Amino acid sequence: MKCPFCGHSETQVVETRVSEDGDFIRRRRQCHSCEKRFTTYERPDVTFPAIVKKDGRRIEYERVKLRASMNLALRKRPVSTEQIDSAVERIEEKLLSLGVRELPSNRIGELVMRELKKLDKVAYVRFASVYRSFEDIDEFKTLVDEVRR
């Protein structure tokens, strides 16, 4: 494994841990050259469905984009990184369990909203207001009333 700090090709694994659910392995590594430590994650290589956008374009699923949209909704909210990671894992498990080769982007949006609703109501409202493209304040009020119940 190449060191992300100095680019040296020799690193040593100093600690290995399996995640609680056994879905990935976390490894702490140390560079032989600069002696800095970094973390790597080992996950099975699986194929996620292609995402079909509203305009018909097909793009590859990207965990980074999913995580970024959730982080944006959860900005300045009291939700831990571990909780977000677990939510992303649940969404990805659902995507894989569907067993389809393509999936409309709105289906992923619905999965994200379901997870955000469990994590934080304010983040859920933030995400839903952008995702559903509210046209007027009444649509927003309806969503807030729904969350209050």
pLDDT by 10-residue block (mean), the chain, 149 residues: 95 94 91 96 86 94 93 94 93 92 93 93 86 72 78
Q: pLDDT tens for residues 43-79?
A: 887 789 999 998 999 999 999 999 999 999 999 999 9
The number of beta carbons lying within 10 Å of the beta carbon of residue 26 is: 13
pTM value is 0.65
3-state secondary structure 76-130: CCCCCHHHHHHHHHHHHHHHHHHCCCEEEHHHHHHHHHHHHHHHCHHHHHHHHHH
